[in-house]
Structure 1
Amino acid sequence: MNFNVEKKENNIVTFKAEIEEDKFERAIDRAYLKIRNKFNVAGFRKGKAPKKIIELNYGESIFYEEALNILLPEAYEEAVKELELEPVDQPQVDIEQLEKGKPVILKLDVTVKPEVKLGDYKSIEIEKAKYNVTEEDVKKEIENMQDMNSRLIDADDKEAENGDILTINFEGYMDGEKFEGGTAENQNLELGSKKFIPGFEEQLIGKKVGEKVDVNVKFPDDYFEEKLRSKDALFKVEIKEIKIKEKPKLDDEFAKDVSEFDTLDELKSSIKEKLEKEAKDKEKVENETKAIEKLMEISEVEIPEVMIDRQIDDEVSEFDYRLKMQGLSLDKYFEFANTSLEKLKEQFKERSGNKVKSDLVLGELAKQENIQATEEEIDKEIEKIAAEYNPKDTEKFKEDVKKGDLEWIKSGIIKDKAIELLIKNVKFV
């Protein structure tokens, strides 16, 4: 096959593929064998009519389309390899010549990975993220554990205050009419948790069991349900129960009850160690993010829209998966949040564009520095994935992974090594 590039512009390569007539003839023979059962020819059992007879009855070009379907993937794969293209979308194909006894001439337009003009990553300066773990942080963590292990006891005739757990019934009114979704019974509410509309919880402080309270609020401007945004509402609230938290005493017995440690000091040390690790991880992620953003800022690349669209589709699929893990479908989410697929995609657009650009600039960095994924690194990553996803039978899982395409594992390793190299060259100020 012969390939001739005509032009390259806006990340689209236009080239012609010329397929020799003998290859086209062989493809026609393959097409005949593949689809001959579809034709009924008088005097022959179905699928037994010779190729020439079928062509006489249905026209000489009857097998051309199927022959092209056979040839095109082979021709395209060969062209991509020979012309050293990196396609990011399916090609658009025009047939320029398709005649018996002549070469087949096809014109193809394909969007390719854009060229990246990489900025000087060795001159990047960023402010280093630093998070220190204090005794106050450890104290808050202990208090959270204490709170989670509290007992709820009836408050009798006590006035409600922050930290109390109320059981309430309420009905919501807007312009004197009940509105949909504004009514509930036996709803639990911890005062001070700020889980209700701003101003709602504060109006229940000082109230007692059995009291009925008119709570006046205004829905936030950014409330998730669009039709309620910025609206004034009245909630008629009845307090059914008030419970207070009886927290356990902070001592060695508490440590034994809530952890594997024998003393409170050991528990505190463990918590501090955990928080310090989380702080280091947070610093690492933030520093890497800043460095990548700076590299993107000083690099130049024209991103094809199709790459952003595909990343948006990936984001939507991931979002859909997370919803399903919570027992919610995408359609139900759209109904609940009063939104649509188009609006969701629009929300993901900027993030998707940044994700594509970061991958491109890091890929160019890896290319310029000849960063590769070694067999040892690939095996180690597969081992890690197997332990995470199938710890009971890691060997079988590893075998299954190795049978598939390992490109996603290789690209992940290369990207991590590119980020590592970038961070090594960053000047922290």
Structure 2
Amino acid sequence: MKSAVETLNPTRVRLTVEVPFEELKDSLDAAYKKINQQVTVKGFRKGKIPARVIDQRFGRGAVLEEAVNDALPRFYTDAVNEAEVNPLGQPDVDITELKDGELLAFTAEVDIRPSIEIPDYSGIEVTVDAVEVTDEDVAKSVEQLRDRFASTSPVERAAAEGDVITVDLEAKVDGEVLADGVAEGVQYTIGSGELLDGIDEAVTGKSAGDEATFTSVLKGGSAEGKEAEVTVKVTAVAAREVPELDDEFAQMASEFDTLEELRADSRKRLENMKQYDQATQAQERVLDELIKLAEVPIPEKLLEDEVNTRKHNLEHHQLGQMGLTIDKYLEIQGKTAEEFDAETREQAVKGIKTQFILDELVNKEKLNVNQEELTEHLMRRAASSGMSPDQFAQAVVEGGQVPMLVGEVARGKALAVVVESAKVVDTNGETVDLDDEDEAGETAEAATEDAPADKADEKAAEKSEG
């Protein structure tokens, strides 16, 4: 076999391949055997039809077509290896010559991973938010905990903001009661904004047994988006009571003996959260600067495939689980289809550049992934997918996605190397220490989530749905 490679552009090549006919012998034998099992000829036992009879009855062309289809992937792979290129996606193959008994010639055009020069990243500087936890932050955190321990007790008075009421609802559109517009025994906290616009004003001041009517645009159901006349009947009013902020509350709501200990723990938790957010922010901003420094040509077909994959994952997995259509999602986001397409394309470009740059850095720095690192990453991915680690691992193995997860961890380690050499300061001008290797690796993996839409979560979702 003879092959040559022609560079069409930095991300695409054309392979020209010539194969002596004798190298098709094994595929020709397999083609005759396959056809033998598929056809019957009077006078011959199944599977025992001579090749000359198959040629006469069904045509030599059918045999050649079967043989070439069988052999092409092998010859293409040999040509790729000989040319030492890294193909992306499936090739566009064109058979240019097929002379029976003499020669098979074909061309294959395919996108390739471009050659990338890793820039000098030692001078990258980024600024991140300072880790500051105020007394107000702590008070809000403790108040949220306090709300979780709130209780209610029935009262015989008019409903007021903060009360928990029980109501019956009936919605009419154009004078007709909707089939799904009747609900009884609904509990609602006045002022929470969790039900219908206008209900707070309608029920405030009403006692058990009172009714009110108001108009509101429906947020869901068969008449979603339409204006309805809603009748609400208050059947019960309950006062919501929160426990006193004292040591007794601290003992009830936590493992601490005093309120001050609880507040100190809340402050520490908030600091840890903000430190993690700060580290993630540093990774993301360093990555943005790294991308700006590198020249990365993008294969157009790969980009289109990535855009389509992201749209598919959003529409059929993420939105599907929430019961939303793409049109409803765009309405909620306040975006046009054109704006959404442009944003998705921009994210895809960034993702592809991220993967190319970090993969090259992995090779340059000779970074490896051990079993412990892979297992920790799999556990995090399983948690984010909503599956158990065992289920997720099974889906990943069955889908052949283990190398993809290894790549994710390796890219996270590569980014951590870049961040380690960067100068990171907070908004107060203080140098930020990101030396915690475990945290650096974990947040780096999170920061590279814009890499091309991975199939691991998609395969896991499909398995879960199946």
The TM tier, using the shorter chain, reads: 0.7 to 0.9
Alignment correspondent of 1:184: 183
Q: What is the rounded CA distance, in whole Å, between the counterparts of 1:262 and 1:318 in structure 2?
A: 47
Distance 1:425 1:180 in 2: 63
Instruction: Indicate which of 225, 239, 250 corresponds to 2:234.
Output: 239
Map Cα deviations across residues 335-366 of structure 1 (whole Å, 9 max, x no partner). Answer: 994989xx999847624642452442453255
CA distance in structure 2 between the aligned counterparts of 1:174 and 1:95, rounded to whole angstroms = 64
Name the counterpart of 1:296: 291
Query: What corresponds to 2:430 in structure 1?
Result: none
The reply to whether residue 74 of structure 1 matches residue 74 of structure 2 is yes
Counterpart secondary structure, 2:263: helix
Distance 2:338 2:155 in 1: 49
Kept in 2: contact 1:19–1:105 (CA 8 A): yes
* Separation of aligned partners in 2, 1:58 and 1:87: 37
Cα drift, residue 193 of structure 1: 1.7
Matched, 1:274 2:265: no
Alignment of 1:54-93 (within 5 A): 54-93=54-93
**What is residue 170 of structure 2 aligned with on the other side?**
171
SS of residue paired to 1:170: strand
Q: Residue 288 and residue 339 in structure 1: after superposition, are their counterparts in 2 closer, same or farther (change >3 A)?
A: closer
Secondary structure (helix, strand or coil) at the match of 1:3 reads: strand
Aligned 1:6-155 pairs, distance under 5 A:
6-9=6-9, 11-114=11-114, 121-155=121-155
- The answer to whether the aligner puts 1:360 opposite 2:359 as a matched pair is no
**Corresponding residue for 2:370?**
378
Greater CA deviation, 310-319 or 121-130?
A: 310-319
User: What secondary structure, in the 3-state scheme, does the structure 2 residue paired with 1:63 have?
Assistant: helix
Paired with 1:335 and 1:303, the residues of 2 have a C-alpha distance of: 27
Q: Is the 8 A contact 1:362 1:419 kept in 2?
A: no
| Identical positions, percent | 27
Segment of structure 1 superposing worse, 365-374 or 92-101: 365-374
- Range moving further from structure 2, 181-190 or 66-75: 181-190
Question: How far apart in 1 are the matches of 2:353 and 2:376?
Answer: 26
**Alignment match of 1:408 (pick from 401, 404, 416):** 404
Deviations 1:132-154 (A, max 9, x none): 22232222222222211222211
State the one-letter code of the partner of 1:420.
A
Q: 1:233 to 1:406 in 2, by over 3 A?
A: closer
For residues 264 and 311 of structure 1, do their structure 2 counterparts lie closer, same or farther at Cα, with a shift above 3 Å needed?
A: farther
Aligned residues: 412
Structure-2 change in CA distance of 1:22 and 1:178 (3 Å): same
CA distance in 2, matches of 1:372, 1:403: 27
Q: Secondary structure at the match of 2:325?
A: helix
Q: Distance in 2 between matches of 1:337 and 1:100?
A: 59
**Aligned residue in 1 for 2:438:** none
Distance 1:179 1:403 in 2: 46
Unaligned runs of 5+ in 2: 426-466
1:89-125 Cα deviation digits (max 9, x unpaired): 2111111111211221112121233455766644444
CA 339–314 in structure 1, closer or farther in 2 if over 3 Å, else same: closer
Instruction: Provide the C-alpha distance between the structure 1 equivalents of 2:168 and 2:398, rounded to a whole number of angstroms.
Output: 57
Question: Displacement, 1:380?
Answer: 1.9
**Aligned partners of 1:171, 1:308: CA distance in 2, in Å?**
48
Residue type of the alignment partner of 1:201: D
Please tell me whether the aligned partners of residues 87 and 111 of structure 1 are also in contact (alpha carbons under 8 angstroms). Answer: yes
Aligned-partner Cα distance in 2 for 1:177–1:363: 59
Contact 1:372 1:414 in 2 (8 A): no
Once the two structures are superposed, residues 193-227 of structure 1 have per-residue CA deviations (whole angstroms, 9 ceiling, x without a partner) of 222354442443333322222324467xxx78998
Distance 1:114 1:45, change over 3 A: same
Distance 1:367 1:117, change over 3 A: closer
CA spacing shift, 1:311–1:81, aligned 2, 3 Å? farther
- SS state at 1:245 partner: strand
Change (3 A) 1:296 1:183: farther
Give the aligned partner of residue 303 of structure 2. Answer: 307
Preserved contact between residue 21 and residue 100 of structure 1 (Cα < 8 Å):
yes
Q: Note if contact 1:17-1:105 (Cα within 8 Å) is conserved in structure 2.
A: yes
- Give the partner amino acid of 1:350: E
Q: TM-score, normalised by structure 2?
A: 0.74
Deviations 1:128-178 (CA, angstroms, capped at 9, x unpaired): 1223222322222222222112222112213321x2222223334556565
Question: Contact (CA 8 Å) 1:312, 1:352: kept in 2 or not?
Answer: no
Task: Let me know the Cα RMSD of the aligned residues.
Answer: 4.0
How far apart, in 1, do the equivalents of 2:174 and 2:292 lie? 51
Query: What is the letter of the counterpart of residue 44 of structure 1?
Result: F
- Of 398, 413, 416, the residue aligned with 1:417 is 413
Q: Is the 8 A contact 2:118 2:360 kept in 1?
A: no
Specify the code of the residue in structure 2 equivalent to 1:383.
T
SS at match of 2:88: coil
Equivalent residue for 1:3? 3
Tell me, what secondary structure is at the counterpart of 1:206?
coil
Specify every segment of 5 or more residues in structure 1 that has no aligned partner in the other structure, as ranges.
none
TM-score (norm 1): 0.80
Q: Deviations over 1:262-285 (max 9, x none)?
A: 444443333322222111111112
